Chains A and B, each alone.
Chain A
Amino acid sequence: MRRAAIVLLCALVATAASVLLWSPTGYATQDREQISAPSSARHWIGTDDLGRDRSVRVAAALLLGLAGASAASALAATLAAIVGVSAAFAPKPLARALLYLCDLFLTLPWLFLLMTVRSALPLTLAPLQSAAVTFILLAVLGWPAYARVTCAGTLRIRNADWFLQARASGLHPGRVAIRHVMPHLRPLLVTQFLLCIPAFLVSEANLGTLALGISEPVPSWGAMLLSLEHASAFSGPAWVFLPIVLLIVVLLLLQLLVTEA
């Protein structure tokens, strides 16, 4: 199942990349004579209400969403690993302070915070910069829960007999951490990394539906879902639902990767 999920995800990414490469129009190009046009040879799955090619926008949103969520997840997992491992090996007061820091982040009203930070950003922020900021914010707010898990995992390793033997045989603590602790933590970190991707994808979509996500004209799942809020979407072509169908498929595939990991 895991292999099938990986193959399917790769196929989706390859298809999206091909659409972007071969399409004669960009994701922001407005064909003003083809507003809400049905499927045609020029626009395979039609155009949106500004005449933009729907296939190009869905493909770009998929790639941007996956790339952004993966990068944010990698950043969150790295932060979690640094803080979690440090807390496990640090002297007690420092360890306690780091764990309090995690708790503080966990208790923050993250949605309110995201809204505040996004609305306080400079207005001249370019759309792609706004995408980067959105995912960085998600990473910065998403690491604490995983830091606690990492800390617990590291503590188990620290108390293991083989670890005590390694320390007793005079190995440098840094070397122990890199050569021995990290390989043991890898499954945990990979699982956390995979868990974060769908969470960040959904968070970006949620922010987008609040008009706080990635700015137009850069396509995003959030902005596309926002357009489905309107009842008139239901009287349009079925292709308008492609973004939500793809989002569900991608989330399911990512979930399969996690459960099989």
Chain B
Amino acid sequence: MSALHGKHPASLLLFFAILAPARAAAPPTELAWSLKSDPRSLDPAKVDDQAAETVRFLTGGVLLRLNRHTLQIEPSLASSWNTSRDGLLVTFHLRPGLLFSDGSPLTSAAVAASVKHVLDPATGAPVAAQFLSPQAVTVETPDPLTVRIHLPRRVVSVGKLFDEIAIEPSGPTTEGRVTSGSFTIAEYRRGQFIRLERNPRYWKHDPSGAALPYLRTIRLDILPNRETDQLRFSRGQYQLIDGLSADDFRHLAQTNPSSVHDLGPSLNTEQIWFNQSVSAPLPAWEKAWFANRAFRVAVSQAIHRADLARIAYDGHATPAGGFISPSNRDWYDTHLRLPPEGTSVAQQTLTGAGFKRVGASLLDPQGHPVKFSILTNAGNRSREKMAMLIQQDLAALGMQVNLVTLDFPALIERLMHTQAYECALLGLSSVDPDPGSMMNIWLSSSPNHQWNPSEKTPATPWEAEIDQQMRLLGASPDDEVRKQAIDTVQQIVADQQPFIYLVYPNMLYAVSPQLTGVDMTLLQPGVVSNIDWIHWKGDSI
């Protein structure tokens, strides 16, 4: 009997559920998309990964905002700002009546505290280094609405730096719980999701006087698997995909063509490089190949980049010659001279350097067969395809190339710590079109100078020349001098091929037709660059 008691109500419920008229699906209450990983830190000063960057953009109020379309600096919490003629004093005038999300007043004292927190070496804020001498920077607050920042040295494009400094209440960081930006963090479950709620005291309003942002809540799922991303978008559980893969783009273009968008070449690059570190645990003859300019140039010449773009990216990429994308019009060098591409010209280059072909193998001048491995991260299908295409391109020269995919932590361990690798294939994301932001890649002393990190002194004359030109780029206020400097660096890199650039992947997004007001940009955070203005189609605003 007890079993029957248990069954009857369920049967009745099922019966009524079947008879009940089908209702139209309710519109989603929160905008959802995914981050590929947990933010490494929710302290907006410590942002050094893309997930944390997105969260900071959505929650952090800033004095000045970089317009991701025009690349112009626009006032935000500061209604106006100016720099002194010598560039050593930056003055901000705050908007009157600013409040944090908890209702406390946002004054110059909070701004000073946030800036000092960023400049404090103990914080380890990545943006601090761009102030050149952060410890010597002083902040002054003559009144509650004025902030003066004294710089010991002129900083080129100083305004952009304040796009990366979120203004928080004085005291310990609230990790996004109390903000001056569009949203606040309402809930965070590590490895699962971050829920953001609209900041009711955000300063910005639309022309009709309605408070911004229009959206009430956002859910950012932590989802490393891109495949699930696409499935959830197709089911309507997500409304955005930030950075589609070429395969997903093709699949969605077949099922929902109006939802996918190709913005053309991004500012990002995909490249391979050989390990030139003197301390690398590699045989001496391999180090000699990798340090040999002709060897690197021949490898570059043998790679058919048009095939990489067409096959690995389904046409959603552009063959790359240098580190500045053609989308970055101000800095792209249209006169860059690249080594000619082709298998026969690559063979000539190798022959000129003493390499010789014996049967199907290529031997170096000492008779060692040329074989090495290309390391890349597992799970990135486009990179794996590129590596396999390069494997065949180099086989035509007689080089035996092994393809090794490792999970990201194991890969980073080899690249950054043990140096136990021969060649790596990875990408580089540019968050700022100004090449001055790539100082950490090009300076020979930098730990991110990937082919030979943390050189005590430049290992080669051309690296010394790159150092010199990059310092000139960082210090000169003259735009022409800066452009000349970066053109010189681009040409040195094209001649020496320390990074062998492959493609500029296109920026691909998916946006649900349920949304309106989305204005995508190449620069991060791309698909939500104008988050304040995004709303549900049909919502009264």
A contacts, CB < 8 Å to B: 28, 30, 32, 35, 49-51, 119, 123-127, 211, 215-217, 229-232, 235
Contact = CB atoms under 8 A, between A and B. Distances in A.
Interface in B242-269: 247-248, 250-251, 254-255
Contact of A217 (B250, B371, B379, B391): B391
B362 to A, nearest CB: 15
Nearest to A234: B251
B40 interface: no
B227 interface: yes
B230 interface: yes
Nearest to B413: A119
Given A50-B385, A211-B405, A230-B381, A123 B422 contact: yes
A30 B392 contact: yes
A232 B307 CA distance: 21
B403 A230 contact: no
B235 to A, nearest CB: 11
B278 to A, nearest CB: 19
Given A30-B392, A123-B421, A231-B230, A51 B311 contact: yes
Given A49-B385, A50-B388, A217-B388, 7 more contacts: A32-B311, A125-B402, A215-B404, A230-B251, A231-B230, A231-B251, A232-B251
Contact of B402 (A49, A124, A229): A124
B247 A230 contact: yes
Contacts of B230: 231
A215 B311 CA distance: 20
B373 A124 contact: yes
Contacts of B234: 231
Contact of B403 (A216, A229, A235): A216
A126 B400 contact: yes
A126 B406 CA distance: 16
A16 to B, nearest CB: 23
B251 A124 contact: no
Among A126, A216, A232, A235: residue with most chain B CB under 10 A: A232
B81 interface: no
A216 B388 contact: yes
A91 to B, nearest CB: 45
Q: Majority SS of interface residues in chain B?
A: helix
Query: What 10 pairs across the A-B complex have the smallest Cβ distances?
Result: A123-B373, A232-B251, A211-B378, A232-B247, A211-B405, A123-B404, A216-B403, A30-B392, A124-B373, A32-B307
B372 interface: yes
A155 B391 CA distance: 54
Contacts of A50: 311, 385, 388-389
Contacts of A215: 402-404
B375 interface: yes
A232 B248 contact: yes
Nearest to B393: A30
Interface in B303-318: 307, 310-311
A216 B392 contact: no
A124 B372 contact: yes
B402 A123 contact: yes
11 contacts: A32-B311, A49-B385, A123-B375, A124-B371, A124-B372, A126-B400, A216-B391, A230-B227, A232-B248, A235-B251, A235-B255
A217 B234 CA distance: 32
A216 B384 CA distance: 9
A28 B403 CA distance: 13
A180 to B, nearest CB: 49
A105 B335 CA distance: 63
Contacts of B389: 30, 32, 50
B17 interface: no
Among B254, B381, B385, B421: residue with most chain A CB under 10 A: B381
Nearest to A130: B402
A124 to B, nearest CB: 5
B18 interface: no
A229 B372 CA distance: 29
Nearest to A28: B392
Among A51, A123, A211: residue with most chain B CB under 10 A: A123
Nearest to A127: B402
B391 to A, nearest CB: 7
B122 interface: no
B410 interface: yes
Given A50-B385, A50-B388, A119 B410 contact: yes
A231 B392 CA distance: 27
Contacts of A124: 371-373, 402, 422
Interface string B213-234: 0000000000000010011001
Among A32, A229, A231: residue with most chain B CB under 10 A: A231
A229 B402 CA distance: 24
B537 to A, nearest CB: 26
Interface string B367-401: 00001110100110100110011011000000010
Interface in B430-481: none
A217 B401 CA distance: 10
Contacts of B381: 230
Nearest to A123: B373
A51 B307 CA distance: 11
A30 to B, nearest CB: 5
A236 to B, nearest CB: 10
Interface in B178-212: none
A198 B382 CA distance: 32
A141 to B, nearest CB: 21
A232 B248 CA distance: 7
A123 B280 CA distance: 14
A119 B406 contact: yes
A160 B384 CA distance: 59
B425 to A, nearest CB: 13
